């Protein structure tokens, strides 16, 4: 998990446009895409995930948010789990060793636990104030982000309020990658936006 980690969130785009938007991100250089489709029926999430995996190039990693079952059945490369989702070790029993498991974390205790349970990476945040998630915690800041990175041996992805204007400050903490949602999905030129972000994030 390195560089730009893009999130395709159906809170920002119509589900029917998910594949079209994903391909625009790929054209801009995105190679990691997470499907976040909170609130949609399981059947619809599955079809979205399956359609994305068929449409995306083989070198693009598809991660499904919250749903290990759908990630497995749709042929995705991995799943991203929150603190209220299935525990990492349980998801690992379902998915096996080869699929990627990422965990959302908000403090050092959660991050270390995710690493102990066998997570392949953690996302830490929100780094800055964000309106992407209504239930987001208070901003953690760059100092906490750097502490998490220094404490873990697995990749750390920064998330929350990151945009083209502050991404360099985030990367200076040494994190492996940055996850972005609204700055990309609200852009009038998604491909161009991703191109600039990939250049800044180093991949």
Longest dimension (CA), the chain: 42
Instruction: Give the catalytic positions in this structure.
Output: 36, 104, 133
Per-residue tokens: 59: 């070198």
Q: What is the DSSP string of 36-95?
A: E-TTS-HHHHHHHHHHHHHHS-TTSEEEEES-HHHHHHHT-SEEEE-TTSS-HHHHHHHH
């Amino acid at each position: 998990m390195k560089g730009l980690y893009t999130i395709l969130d159906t809170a920002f785009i119509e589900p029917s446009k998910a594949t079209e938007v994903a391909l625009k991100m790929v054209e801009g250089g995105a190679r990691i895409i997470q499907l976040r489709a909170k609130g949609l029926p399981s059947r619809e999430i599955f079809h979205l995930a399956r359609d994305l995996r068929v449409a995306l190039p083989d070198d693009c990693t598809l991660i499904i948010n919250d749903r290990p079952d759908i990630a497995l059945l749709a042929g995705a490369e991995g799943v991203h789990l929150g603190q209220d989702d299935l525990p990492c070790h349980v998801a690992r029993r379902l998915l096996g060793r080869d699929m990627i498991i990422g965990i959302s974390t908000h403090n050092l205790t959660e991050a270390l636990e995710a690493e102990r349970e066998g997570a392949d990476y953690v996302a830490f945040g929100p780094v800055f104030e964000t309106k992407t998630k209504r239930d987001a915690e208070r901003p953690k800041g760059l100092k906490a982000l750097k502490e998490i990175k220094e404490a873990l041996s697995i990749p750390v992805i920064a998330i929350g309020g990151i945009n083209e204007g502050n991404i360099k400050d985030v990367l200076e903490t040494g994190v492996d990658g940055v996850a972005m949602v609204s700055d990309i999905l609200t852009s009038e030129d998604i491909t161009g936006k991703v191109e600039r972000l990939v250049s800044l994030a180093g991949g």
